[in-house]
Amino acid sequence: MARLALSDEELDGFARELGVILEHAEDLAALDLDDVEPTAHPLPLVNVLRPDEVRPSLDRDEVLGQAPAVEDGRFRVPRILDAP
């Protein structure tokens, strides 16, 4: 899910460090919060819309100019499906 090709060496270190961090987070587990609503965001915003007007967007060539690989005005990537 995280899409990280970690080495075995890294895995050992991270497992230890993340264990310590999660242990610290265990103090939350002891809290009785059944009646408390979760907060996802500090502002009470719902469906912020802009007027449906045409306005300039980013320059396509400038955007594609920053891509690692481009073909026919599009981003080029390695195959995404397994070979048949």
Can residue 54 be called a binding residue for another protein (CB under 8 A)?
no
Residues in CB range of 64: below 8 A, 6 or more apart: 70, 73, 74, 75
CB of 63 to another protein, least distance (A): 5
Q: Does 84 interact with another protein (rule: CB under 8 A)? A: no
Among 8, 9, 54, 66, binds another protein (CB under 8 A): 66
Q: Using the rule CB under 8 A, is 46 a contact of another protein?
A: no
Q: According to CB under 8 A, which residues from 5 to 24 bind another protein?
A: 5-7, 10, 13-14, 17-18, 20-22, 24
* Residue bearing tokens 């195959």: 79
Element holding 75 (H helix, E strand): strand 74-75
Least Å distance between CB 60 and another protein?
Answer: 9
- Asked if 64 contacts 75 with a C-beta cutoff of 8 angstroms, the reply is yes
Q: Which of 54, 73, 78, 84 binds another protein (CB under 8 A)?
A: 78
Q: φ and ψ at 26, to 5 degrees?
A: -65, -20
